[in-house]
Amino acid sequence: MRGQTVIRQLGLRDYRTVWQQMRQFNAERGADKADEIWVTEHQPVYTLGLNGKHEHLLHGGDIPLVETDRGGQITYHGPGQLVVYALLDLRRLAMGPRQAVSLLENAMIAALSQYGIGAEARADAPGVYVDGKKIGALGLRIKQGCSYHGLSLNNDMDLSPFYNINPCGYAGLQVTQLADFGVKIRLHELAVPVVHHIIKAIES
């Protein structure tokens, strides 16, 4: 099914709802089901990965915490942050978990470069960084050879909820966003290069 990736624009959605829809999609998909990419943003929520530690939530306040089934530690999602979920048949793509992570990191790095922002991945801490500050996070779940969950890229949002956690389990890790570099674009515009680079990688 290469060349037939389905892109879905979900808009602003509740995290739990989309998570359950991803799980259902993955559970029901057959070998001939096309890969899908879901583009969304979430109402404020902290999410904790499978091996995540509650101690990394320093002050929760009124923002709900969802214990989810992706990899990684704790992160924050909120309006103004681009979230792209990659529902891919990794077996069909002959792609391992590390390759899938690199694919998402490289898509964010390539997209950021189009806006004049030089970013990089780190071997010791998955994600994308600019001058040591985290601008993009990712976490995947691979089940029956297929992935779900994906990436989040900070565009123009309230970053203060990140101060109440150890982002991705790293105390003192600073975060940043495109707006901090004078880039002012809408989420649907930012999604275009990110999704383009994902599709380019899986359909090449």
User: What secondary structure does DSSP assign to 153-185, as a single string?
Assistant: EE-S---GGGGGB-GGG-TT--B--GGGGT---
User: Which tens digit of pLDDT belongs to each residue from 124-142?
Assistant: 888 999 999 999 999 999 9
For 6-203, the fitting CATH number among 3.30.930.10, 3.60.110.10, 3.40.50.460, 1.10.3720.10 is 3.30.930.10
The residue-averaged pLDDT of 158-176 equals 92
168 catalytic residue (yes or no) = yes
Tokens of 161: 């909820």
Residue 138 assigned as binding residue: yes
Across the range 98-116, mean pLDDT stands at 97
- Is position 80 annotated in a ligand binding site? no
Question: Any residues with CB less than 8 A from the CB of 88 and at least 6 apart, and which?
Answer: 35, 95, 100, 146, 147, 202
CB 81 within 8 Å of CB 155:
yes
Residue 83, sorted as left (phi over 0), alpha (psi -120 to 50) or beta, turns out to be beta
pTM of the model: 0.96
Q: Break the chain into its structural domains and give their ranges.
A: 6-203
What mean pLDDT is predicted for residues 94-106? 96
Q: Which two tokens stand for residue 23?
A: 């799980």
Given 168, 175, 191, 195, the catalytic residue: 168
pLDDT tens readout for residues 58-84: 987 899 999 999 988 999 999 999 999
Is there a binding annotation on residue 73? yes
Q: Are 44 and 82 in contact (CB under 8 A)?
A: no
Do β-strands 74-77 and 133-143 pair in parallel, antiparallel, or remain unpaired?
Answer: unpaired
- String of b and e for 79-89 (b: at least 16 CB within 10 Å)? ebbbbbbbbbb
